[in-house]
Structure formats: C-alpha cells, structure tokens
Amino acid sequence: MAQDPDAVTRGELAELIDRAEEGDAAATADLDDRFSTRLAFGTAGLRGALGAGPNRMNRVLVAQAAAGFAAFLGERAGSTAPTVVVGYDGRRNSDVFARDSAEVFAGAGLNAVLLPRALPTPVLAFTVRHLGADAGVMVTASHNPPDDNGYKVYLGGHDDGAQIVSPADAEIAAHIQRVADAGDVTVLPRSVGYANAPESVVEAYVAATAAVAPAPAGAEALRWVYTAMHGVGWETVTRVLVAAGYPAPTPVEAQIHPDGRFPTVAFPNPEEPGAMDLAFETARESDAELVIANDPDADRLAVAVPDADAEGGWRRLTGNEIGLLLGWRAARAAAEARGDGDASDAGAPASLACSLVSSPGLEAVAAHYGLDFHSTLTGFKWISRAPGIVFGFEEALGYLVNPGTVRDKDGISAAVAMLGMAAEAGARGRTVADLLQEFRDTFGAFASDQISIRVRDVGEIAGIMASLRAQPPSRVGEVAVARIDDLLEGVEGFPPGDVLRLWLDDGSRLIVRPSGTEPKLKLYLDVRGASAKKARRRLAALRSGAEEMLAAVR
C-alpha cells in the first residue's frame, strides 16, 4: 500500500485491512487471494482483474512488469538502447498503465514511444514493425470482462513483431520477480522523456490496411452495420473505409464509442450470447445485408448474415466459417502470386496456418491450391511464425490477413477483406451465405462446435485433464476412438502443451484443452460430411458423446 501511487487501490486496500483486523473473515480471505500469489507473466503477458495486490492489475504490478521487461530488453540488446512502443485501449486505467510503463522504460534508458491516444491492438503490432522497434507493449484485456485489464508484449528483431513465446516469457518473468523482490517501486527511475508517436504512424497503418482489399466496382451498394463493442475500433475503421473506398456503415450508436464500463453488454465479446443483439436490431431497422463487429481492442472480427431460420432473422458466422472464407480468398491470391514468382513475403513456400483447434477445412483449401499448411498451438504467437504464411486464423474470431505488416490477429484488416468478398459477391448477385455454399461445394462440408465449461476453481480443470489422461476414453458416444495425441508427451510439429487430441474412427476430431486466458475448459468438435445436413447430424452426435464423456470424469 505504501508504494502504490493510486489513491483508489490504496483506499481499497486500507478498507480491507481494517475489516480483516476487526475479524471479518471475508476480508481476510480476500487479502489472502490478493497477496498469496502474483499474476503470472506468461506468453500472453499479464491479464487479470483490476484491484490492489500482486494478484491484481494495478500501478504497482505494472511498474514492476515494465521495469522487469526493460531489464530483459537491455540484456538482450547489449550496448544499444532498445526502442519500445507502448499502446493502450479504452479500458479503465489503460492510459494510466501505458504512461507509467513509458516513464519506467524511459527512466531505464530505453527509447520509449507512446502511441498518440487509445488505439486498436493491431495498430501497436503494426507500429513495432513500422518503426523497427525492439519491442512493444499493449495495455488491453481484449474481450475480457469489464473489470479486467492486461499487458500484452511483442518483440521485434528476429521475432518480427510477433507476441512472445517461450523461453522469453520465463526470462521476462524472472526479471519482473527480481524487481518485485527488491521492494519499493517508488525508487525505480522514471522519466517523462519518452516520445509521442506521430500521427503518421496511424496514417501508415490505415494505408496498409486499406490496401488489403480496395473496394471493387459495385461496393457502393453494400448495406452493412458496424459495432465497436464499446471499444476503440471505430475511429480507425472509419479512416480505413474512406481510404479503401467502401461505403460508410450504419453504426450501432450505443456501442460505437470507447466506454470501459461496457454498459450494453454483459460480456464484451461478440462470441457471447446477446453481445450482438443491438447490432442485429440495427441491421433489421436499416435493412442491412451484413453485420461486422470488432471486439473492444479490434483485434477480432465477428460477421453475421441474414438467416430466416435464426432467432431474430440474423446468424453470427462461426470463427471457422469466417476463417475458411478468408483462407480461400488468400489461397486464390497466393496461387496467382505464385504464377508471378512471388509466393510469400518470407521467401518460404506460401502457406496457410491455423491453430490445431481450428477447422481442418483450411488444410483442404491449402491442398487444393498446392500451398503448404501448418497447424500450430493456439495463439497468434505461434500462428504468425508459420514459415511462408500468407494467411492464418484461429476459431476464436482471430484472423491474420496481412502478414507483411501485422504479425498478429487484426480485426480491422480482416473486416476489409470480408467487405471485399461481400462486395464482389454482390456484384455477381450473390451473398456471403452463397459464398459459404460455394465453399462447401468446392471443398466439402466442414462443421465445428465447441463446449466451454467455466469454473470457479481452475483446479477442477486440472483434475478433468488428469482423469482423461489416467483413463483415456475408448469411445465418444457410439464412435470408437482411433488415436489420442497428448501434446504433453510430445507430438511432432508441436511444442509441449496441455492438449488432448482424440481422433475417432469416422474421421471426426475432438480436442480438449484449458483456456489460455480464462478459467474455462474448452472442447473443440470437428466433423466433415458429404453435405451440410449430414455434417450437422454427425456433429450433434459427437457433441452428445463429448458431453457424456465430460459428465463421467467431473
């Protein structure tokens, strides 16, 4: 409490201490939760609830993280002063954490550059490469609950602006721990001598993103709705649309401006039930043909289309459906570029990549066009490193469509690519739903589903994974298990991970893994059928079997 510069968290902690000293058991338990451990720094950086204590996101923890990261960068760079770019979104305290970080970086002798205002995460990822920086930090908790915030880290140089992977995470964590063990963060040197990034950086991102898919002829007829989900996407999206030549959307006014309270949604994630209800209402009122949504830091993309069979007349496409459409687009472009002798931006054979829990349909697309294919662990820190990548995605609404400039998921460039596909289809008298059918006609009917179990005690997740390993299922429903890959024991092409992949006799696939960012156990179900109807039937049977398997081990 003595080293915390934030009056709010100091007061919060003082009240807890007073209550605990008076014998309040709940306050004592709360203090124990806040101080018995620290938020762990890993390949996803830091993420947690705002509040006082080392197991929360606050100014003390952020100062420790910034000082530890500065020490890591200094050790890595040797005698040259590293350059680090800092960005932030519209969440509560994001701007404060960003300025604290910039001051600590500058005080440590780094060349610190602060983005000019709250901006999307993809702008920060772009800027790291654009400026040739050694590292970047984005203060964001993406689509997490309103009371969360986080600290996402990128590395330049041979990491090419991608998020950190092992062993960098452990090395940074060790430096942070040393800072924390040393005690008072108020003695850390600070400086306001950091630079403010010029507006030209944002303009460069806008130009590069608009170039992903300039508006084709007939695009002016496109009727669509956009929501920023109370995040920071709208300003940048608007500028990109103008530069690319697309018509302005009808915005969801109640969600278009940054608001860290996220007042109109229970959970600011377009995947969550109800999150896009206002967008659907706006689409019905404006007679739109397409809905596009970004999450609060605009690194994810959601798309919805009219569907008479769906409740309310609109259906949100799954992340796999969007990924397969965008992958198909990228594969066609790569095949054409190969004919011109320019297969990929990395010199390696052009490839498509997706996380191992994403649809196997992308591999079918790659094979159809003679491209390489890479399956990776979840997260764009892995996907972005696929050799020769021209497109990558993960089913959780993340898409990398412009690897030459952004080595991370980017919901804005993905939106532009999707608008281009929708406009081109419209010029042929077709819709996005028609494009999905064209995909099935070309590559087969792939169907996917997900079971997500949210828990209060993450120990329950570890128990379920241990039970599945101790007594591996021989069947899922009525279908026999042909093979189980346990990534903890080592599987070719993957670093070790807490993932079980079950292959069934009928060609179906079931993957079980803990979430990397939330207290959830996730099961991913994938099937392929001769038709959409047969694939849905097979998927329903697989889901029923997976639920029975879970019930048996819980």
Q: How far is CA 137 from CA 70, 115, 406, 478, 485, in A?
A: 11, 10, 15, 48, 35
435 is written with which tokens?
Answer: 């494009």
Edge to edge, what strands does the sheet with 351-355 contain? 372-376, 351-355, 389-394, 398-400
The alpha carbon of 345 is separated from its chain's Cα centroid by a whole number of angstroms, namely 23
291 in Cβ contact with 314 (< 8 Å): yes
DSSP 267-317: SS-TTSTTTTHHHHHHHHHHT-SEEEEE-TTS--EEEEEE-TTSGGGEEEP
Residue bearing tokens 């902690």:
13
Q: All domains of the chain, ordered by start, with CATH?
A: 39-183 (3.40.120.10), 200-439 (3.40.120.10), 444-553 (3.30.310.50)
pLDDT tens track, the chain, 554 positions: 999 999 999 999 999 999 999 999 999 999 999 999 999 998 789 999 999 999 999 999 999 999 999 999 999 887 789 999 999 999 999 999 999 999 999 999 999 999 999 999 999 999 999 999 999 999 999 999 999 999 999 999 999 999 999 899 999 999 999 999 998 999 999 999 999 999 999 999 999 999 999 999 999 999 999 999 999 999 999 999 999 999 999 999 999 999 999 999 999 999 999 999 999 999 999 999 999 999 999 999 999 999 999 989 999 999 999 999 999 999 999 999 887 555 544 567 999 999 999 999 999 999 999 999 999 988 999 999 999 999 999 999 999 999 999 999 999 999 999 999 999 999 999 999 999 999 999 999 999 999 998 888 888 899 999 999 999 999 999 999 999 999 999 888 888 889 999 999 999 999 999 987 678 899 999 999 888 999 999 999 999 999 999 999 88
Compute how many other C-beta atoms are within 10 angstroms of the C-beta atom of residue 144. 22
And the tokens for 203?
Answer: 């303009």
Query: Is 359 one of the annotated active-site residues of the chain?
Result: no
Contact 303, 292 (CB under 8 A): yes
Closest to 299 in 3D by CA, of 219, 368, 365, 380: 380
Task: Report how many helices (DSSP H) and strands (DSSP E) the chain contains, helices first.
Answer: 16, 22
pLDDT at 78: 77
Catalytic-role residue among 142, 344, 351, 355: 142
Q: Which secondary structure element, helix H or strand E, spans residue 224, and what is its range?
A: strand 224-227
φ and ψ at residue 234, rounded to 5 degrees:
-60, -50
Chain centre to alpha carbon of residue 380: 7
Task: Kindly list the distances between the CA atom of residue 368 and the CA atoms of 354, 395, 400, 443, in Å, as whole numbers in the listed order.
Answer: 16, 21, 20, 8
* Range list of β-strands (E), 412-467: 445-454
Rounded alpha-carbon distances, angstroms, from residue 521 to 104, 458, 460:
37, 9, 9
The Cα–Cα gap between 133 and 128 comes to 5
Own/partner contacts of 240-245, CB < 8 Å, gap of 24 or more, are 240/206, 240/209, 240/210, 240/412, 240/416, 241/416, 243/206, 243/207, 243/209, 243/210, 244/209, 244/210, 244/211, 244/212, 244/213, 244/214, 244/215, 244/416, 244/419, 245/214, 245/215, 245/219
- Give pLDDT, residue 517: 66
What is the token pair recorded at 28? 């004592």
Q: Where are the beta strands (DSSP E) in 386-543?
A: 389-394, 398-400, 445-454, 475-476, 479-486, 500-504, 509-514, 520-529
pTM of the model as a whole: 0.93
